[in-house]
Amino acid sequence: MTGSTTAEGAAAREAAPAETSADSRPYSPGLAGVLAGETAIAVVDGERGRLFYRGYPIGELVERGTFAQVAELLWTGEWPGKATLVAEPAPPAVLNSLRLLPPESAPMDVLRSAISTWGAIEKLGWPPTVEQARRLTAIAPTALAAFGRLRQKKDPVEPDPSLPLPANFLYMLNGERPDEASARALDAYFIVAAEHGFNASTFTARVITSTRSDLASAVCGAIGALKGPLHGGAPSGVVDQLHEIGSVDRAEEWIRGALDRGERLMGFGHRVYRAYDPRAAALRKVAESMTGMADWLDLAVKVEDIALRLLAERHPERPLKTNVEFYTAAVLQGVKLPPEFYPATFALARNAGWTAHAIEQAAADKIIRPDVRYVGPPERHLPG
């Protein structure tokens, strides 16, 4: 009798909502600092301002590699030597779905819809494969560029198999082959944007993959996460900021005024990096090598110097260094990409990292299902 009563009591306690104070397990809002998995894909060393893909420093990859090589490295774990990754033609069903979208649709929404349509056509199985990752990464620029043409009432441009993927995106968007400097600059941007650890969109892709859902679903979820302004960044905001500053001689006054008003300086500070963002350093070198934008780059470099000095004065306790968005703006403006396409272009590059993480998560084959602390009312009953 006593044993039965004890068992019933234990079952009742388990069924009832727990009091807030009863759960003493540590809680980290936003999972900050929580180890949620293991990866062999990338290391983000925020304290020392370093980033490695599969052990290779990002600066070395930008200087000596191509996006095609880096994508293969992320997918397979091995440096491929020579590698090609060319844009695929968009299937008719994808083009038809793009024609149904309003011309004013946000490019991020368009890209998400195109990937979803492509995934429905392909009927992707599980687990995700490197071949699926290659094809998804290759179809996305074609679809996004096609929408860019359609919204201007122009016919889509078929991909040129002789062009690398980033250069092909510019070609399909503008209808003109990019010059060598612009092609190389965009390729470098794709490299630095390809991967960055367990950020919100990558974690989203891994959660979806952990349920044994398909690769297109994982990437659509990642695009949805990247669309949020707290994650996607704002290189277009950097462009607007620099245009508003206008000239070096009014930069300090403008920046001081913005800081006095409590406004955020676009392109500075990062959730992870406490040192200079290594991606910004790599892109600065690329931007400095580009022709036709020397005046604009000179303004950007001098504004950066002034901003770093003033931020150090205002916040000596909190290092706020240049992040990747600052020189992303320089490169994307230099290749004459429309600002509204900046976030979606980021996603085109990050497809390589998202899909690499999906493949890695599928190999672990364990559903991601964290626990949660209940903080609502205790057990209660409906009024009689």
Residue 141 near residue 165 (C-beta atoms within 8 A) = yes
Helix locations, the chain, DSSP H: 2-15, 58-64, 67-76, 92-99, 107-122, 130-150, 165-174, 180-193, 200-210, 215-227, 229-232, 235-245, 251-260, 278-288, 294-314, 324-334, 342-364
Per the annotation, the verdict on 381 as an active-site residue is no
Question: What end-to-end distance do the CA atoms of the chain give, in Å?
Answer: 32
| DSSP single-letter state for residue 88 | P
Per the annotation, the verdict on 357 as an active-site residue is no
| DSSP single-letter state for residue 40 | S
Catalytic residue (choose from 72, 88, 196, 270): 270
Any idea which residue has 């992870």 for tokens? 272
Residue 340 near residue 121 (C-beta atoms within 8 A) = no
Catalytic residue (choose from 72, 88, 304, 325): 325
Cα–Cα distance, 81 to 101 (Å, whole number): 41
Residues annotated as part of the active site: 270, 325
